[in-house]
Amino acid sequence: MRKNIVAGNWKMNKNLQEGLELATELNEALKGKTVNCDVIIGTPFIHLASVAKAVDLNKIGVAAQNCADKESGAYTGEVSAAMVASTGAQYVILGHSERRAYYGETAETLKEKVKLALANGLTPIFCIGEVLEEREAEKHFDVVKSQVEASLFDLSADDFSKVVLAYEPVWAIGTGKTASPAQAQEMHAFIRATLAEKYGQDIANNTSILYGGSANAGNAKELFSNPDVDGGLIGGASLGVDKFMPIIEAF
């Protein structure tokens, strides 16, 4: 059965020392505690190796926030999936709306990134979600379906079953405007039905679909109580243990 997951996305926050402090603090907070979800932190690239050493990787998974769409070679400034994996990180967030919007990531480049992540043993946390105008025009289901189809539906069933999805309506990210639990459930159920059509009900039922966008300690419980919401991808509220722990404990 699918896992419940609470994943932090630190984005471009915290220098190395601050990041290590936060990771260590979270590690301490989780020590000796049983929680009902997998916990992941998505850190900047340069933090990965140090953070992976500082935490108990059985209790906290470590994620990059991106990886290159090429295997290796003359791509100045890029970081490959193999490099990410070599730090001890086990996950990579791919297709975040900020990367799509500000760094021109396309369905095609994301398809390559997903393949390389999987080939290097990383679990992709693949982000999808509509912008406000698309929701207002009632195109949100079509948009999300085509994002999934365009970057993931080339995968074999075996490969697809290793992917985690994160539905993040762009209008809810960092805005304090969360999707209502009903809006989240409606979209998550739609995504799961889309997966079932392509890969069958078993794989669809086993795929974790996280919600992201202004999720916090106050709304996590209600969001996570929906049958098709399997956890959260948490930005702002993952930057302090005091804010992140209650979200983990919402399960």
Contact 134, 173 (CB under 8 A): no
- Does residue 78 have an active-site annotation? no
In whole angstroms, the minimum distance from the beta carbon of 161 to ligand PGA comes to 23
Contact 49, 41 (CB under 8 A): no
Told to check if 44 binds ligand PGA by CB under 6 A, we report: no
Residues 48-107 that bind ligand PGA (CB under 6 A): none
Nearer to ligand PGA by Cβ, of 168 and 230: the residue is 168
Told to check if 212 binds ligand PGA by CB under 6 A, we report: yes
Residues in the chain: 251
| Among positions 61, 95, 129, 213, the unique one binding ligand PGA when judged by CB under 6 A | 213
Ranges of H-type helices in the chain: 16-30, 48-54, 81-86, 97-102, 107-119, 132-136, 140-152, 157-160, 181-199, 201-206, 220-224, 241-248
Residue of 96, 105, 130, 134 with catalytic role: 96
| Among positions 6, 51, 236, 247, the unique one binding ligand PGA when judged by CB under 6 A | 236
In whole angstroms, the minimum distance from the beta carbon of 74 to ligand PGA comes to 31
What is Dmax (Cα atoms) for the chain?
48
- Does residue 168 have an active-site annotation? yes
What residues have CB less than 8 Å from 33, skipping those under 6 apart? none
Told to check if 218 binds ligand PGA by CB under 6 A, we report: no
Pairing of strands 91-94, 164-167: unpaired
Told to check if 231 binds ligand PGA by CB under 6 A, we report: no
Residues 116-175 that bind ligand PGA (CB under 6 A): 168, 173-174
Q: In this chain, which stretch among 55-63, 103-111, 138-146, 235-243 interacts with ligand PGA, using CB under 6 A? A: 235-243
Strand partners of residue 63: 42, 91
Active site residues: 96, 168
